[in-house]
Chains A and B, each alone.
Chain A
């Protein structure tokens, strides 16, 4: 399998996970495709019925599995097929972006846009803009960070193994359990 975060010439290129609502933004992205509007190939679109279905856990999960950015697209205010979904998303977004800032994630990595089914052009603009911004920020690289953080535990385990019971009290090395072994539930 090829690593999608590598461009053909081997350099890093952003990976953006996009949650698009079925009724507006997904249709717009489709339109952009049909109209041959070129937008950057860095997004991986996940279609949901409504932006109100975007559980904040999906967003954190995407980041923790290697997304450099998350884009959410929904219907304009008053246009949500389920009436309230986009307002729910907006409210969650307001607090989530503050919380992510407290956790050290740059603001540009999470973006919410209202894009109607007719706005293929907007999909193109938003995606290209976000790709440029995230390119400037560089990778978020959570999976690499987790590995880096746990290096200290692995080092001790190796050290213990090498020195046997002499310096430390324990023998068998324990690699930290892969936190991703657990699936995200909703």
Chain B
């Protein structure tokens, strides 16, 4: 019997998710033994046309990491969707937009202008920018389009499962493979991680205050943290209460507050609004001036509360940015 076919693909991502697959360490051998990897651009050489020529649904599972920003990523998402029985959004960017989705606060023009003209060290006197089509030595290459909006994978194609995390942990990845290979899969649309808040698996939960009155918020570079006390008790924004567990609380055990990369539990639709709600309810002062003074410690609520989830938030993007059409 032939081994089940598996594909890995990357879109707008940093490469960290690929690392996690490699971090399976010896476990990866177990996986590789049981499957036939048909596409994995970071590690092996395959051509897209090999995928195109495969029958539809002949790949058992595709693990796709990265947000969707370019037309090429969209095309690959659509192609892999068609060729796969299960399409899995792997990692925070495919799941929620991730760090790349913070760009949803800026227009396409602002981003291109900064990167090709204004950024420090840029020398580009003719203000050249990438073109979709151009002539070069008799060839006419075609480049992917840079879209106006950063999207999650499920905002482009239908997704079967989500593996959360920036990046996902090897444990979750291995558990997902075990589930896939044994056919013991949860209902479609599930996030393959526990459906409880991170605080539940955090060692600091013992000291999590049930009643707290914040008088200030300190940012990570502004204080030395007690290695055992709940971050909230230290006046530090911790996304734990609004974030799904499953990472093993790696950040809080490394003495850093959780920044929310696993996204919300199934009972929360908008992670940012949820943490805003719970933090603000517990601010000490009752008058506007006093409240705002405390809130000065959160200078960038969008970047803090939607660090990984802006694309998937209720508003998705700064609402007054131009878009219309393809912007060219």
B-binding residues in A (CB < 8 A):
52, 55-57, 59-61, 63-64, 77, 87-88, 90-92, 94-96, 98-99, 102-105, 140, 142, 145-146, 148-153, 155-157, 160, 165, 168-174, 176-177, 179, 182-186
Contacts and interface: CB of A to CB of B under 8 A. Distances in A.
B319 A57 contact: no
Contacts of B292: 94
Contact of B156 (A104, A151, A153): A153
Contact of B78 (A105, A148, A157): A157
Contacts of B321: 104
B288 A94 contact: yes
B180 interface: no
Q: Which of B48, B148, B156 has the most CB of A within 10 A?
A: B156
23 contacts: A56-B270, A60-B314, A61-B270, A90-B291, A92-B276, A94-B295, A99-B272, A99-B305, A102-B105, A103-B317, A103-B319, A146-B316, A149-B317, A151-B325, A152-B326, A156-B71, A156-B74, A157-B78, A176-B151, A177-B154, A177-B157, A185-B266, A186-B267
Query: By DSSP majority rule, is chain A's interface helix, strand, loop, or mixed?
Result: helix
Nearest to A173: B78
A63 B155 contact: no
Nearest to A180: B314
Contacts of A99: 272, 276, 301-302, 305
Interface stretch (B115-123, B125-133, B279-287): B279-287
A111 to B, nearest CB: 14
Nearest to B142: A167
B281 A91 contact: yes
B149 interface: yes
Interface residues of B, number: 61
Contact of B148 (A98, A152, A156, A174): A152
B266 A91 contact: no
Contacts of A56: 270, 273-274, 276-277
Contact of B269 (A57, A157, A170, A172): A57
B78 A170 contact: yes
Contacts of B319: 103-105, 140, 142, 145
Interface in B104-144: 105
B110 to A, nearest CB: 13
A177 B312 CA distance: 12
Given A95-B295, A98-B295, A171 B314 contact: no
Given A94-B291, A185-B268, A142 B315 contact: yes
B23 interface: no
Nearest to B268: A185
A165 B75 CA distance: 11
Contacts of A173: 78
A149 B149 contact: yes
Top 5 A-B residue pairs of the complex, sorted by shortest distance between their CB atoms: A104-B320, A170-B79, A56-B273, A60-B314, A99-B301
A95 B288 CA distance: 11
B105 to A, nearest CB: 7
A91 B314 CA distance: 21
Of listed B277, B281, B323, residue having the most chain A CB within 10 A: B277
